[in-house]
Structure 1
């Protein structure tokens, strides 16, 4: 796989390049230190994976990822950062990032990138824990996207991942609505059902999928989008 590394810490970027280049199946095609350099580097090198930090003084990684995905919705972007901030995680998932890793064990980066190349979305354990405790309702944590940010829908509505095979068509429609951050009233309005029926469908979805709250439903939806 061809990897572009972008991190404002030149030592970190260089170290990652050295570690990944030692792998037989990885070629580091370039390095950058800011969001604009990530966008330009992606256009120039067309890497298989863009491995990028989030907080960079020359232009943040989330904004850069948004620009890259506007031109290439199939871009594989993996964030490698020290921040497991809820807002960052949600924005990354919403825009269609393929991975969110924490800078702790760099030895796990290469295996994670291989998983992404295999079509999986990868999240470090600490990030998964954060997604499970973000809040009880989507309205509190999964706000509607702003600007040109949008939820990833590579399958198209109605084309579901196998992880949702146990759901009825109506239940899956509710899952799609929840993934957009709609509250019960908005889901009811879109799907032409009562709020009570929406609540019943949500309860059924949680029970069938073994999840605890609406946030976990949305996270599962985004994680399965690229599978």
Structure 2
């Protein structure tokens, strides 16, 4: 049986600021190597995912790499709803400092490498809290949830953390085809163009960007 290739991560962070010098562990099944990000506008051909440690303006950091095809994960203490929404809409995952472990970081890297965005629990909570502060925000979220069946709500909770259809199926003991059928129904009910749009609506963050 062929052993899957381990991923290479390019790390962009201030000197001596990276809090995980021992990551990835030698037995990490997914991530094999972490190298400094040397090119400011790209990560090089050998890089699978870029991880940015950004203390200020995480959205600006993502915009610098948006022209490349390399997936991005942001780690930041910022819990501002609009900043997180902009990062997420830019296709990047978001981990709040102190809200993840290295196993979660490896999972986020794997998800990013196959096109899924990952939000840590505190990032999800920040989006929900921001939506509740909007006029009628809490009521709108409740109406949205009532439009989905209990199974569809379970799937959306897992999708909002960056899990793919196959992983959701394993968690809920469903086939991947069943999960994808449910997702199609969810997108129609939420009038969402895809998974990112659906997650933003589910977390109540879509109205943040509306005028």
User: How far off its partner does 1:17 sit?
Assistant: 4.6
CA distance in 1, matches of 2:121, 2:187: 30
1:19 aligns with 2:23: yes
Which of 118, 122, 125 is 1:122 aligned to?
A: 118
| Distance in 2 of aligned mates of 1:109 and 1:39 | 22
Are the aligned partners of 1:49 and 1:77 in contact in 2 as well (CA < 8 Å)?
A: yes
* Aligned alpha-carbon RMSD (Å): 3.8
Tell me the residue number matched to 1:216: 203
**Alignment correspondent of 1:186:** none
Report the CA distance shift for 1:135/1:49 in structure 2 as closer, same or farther (over 3 A).
same
Report the counterpart of residue 79 of structure 1 in structure 2.
74
**CA pair 40-119 structure 1, distance change in 2 beyond 3 A:** closer
Relative distance call for 1:63 and 1:55 in structure 2 (3 A) is same
After superposition, the Cα gap between the structure-2 partners of 1:134 and 1:163, relative to the gap in structure 1 and judged at 3 Å, is: farther
Q: How does 1:1-227 map to 2 (within 5 A)?
A: 1-8=7-14, 10-13=15-18, 15-20=19-24, 22=26, 23=28, 25-32=30-37, 39-40=40-41, 42=43, 44-55=44-55, 61-72=58-69, 75-97=70-92, 99-104=93-98, 105-107=100-102, 108-135=104-131, 162-166=181-185, 174-176=191-193, 214=201, 216=203
TM-score (norm 2): 0.56
Structure possessing the higher radius of gyration over alpha carbons: 1
Mapped to 2, the partners of 1:167 and 1:120 lie a distance apart of: 17
* TM-score of the pair, normalised by structure 1: 0.52
Where is the helix percentage greater, Structure 1 or Structure 2?
1
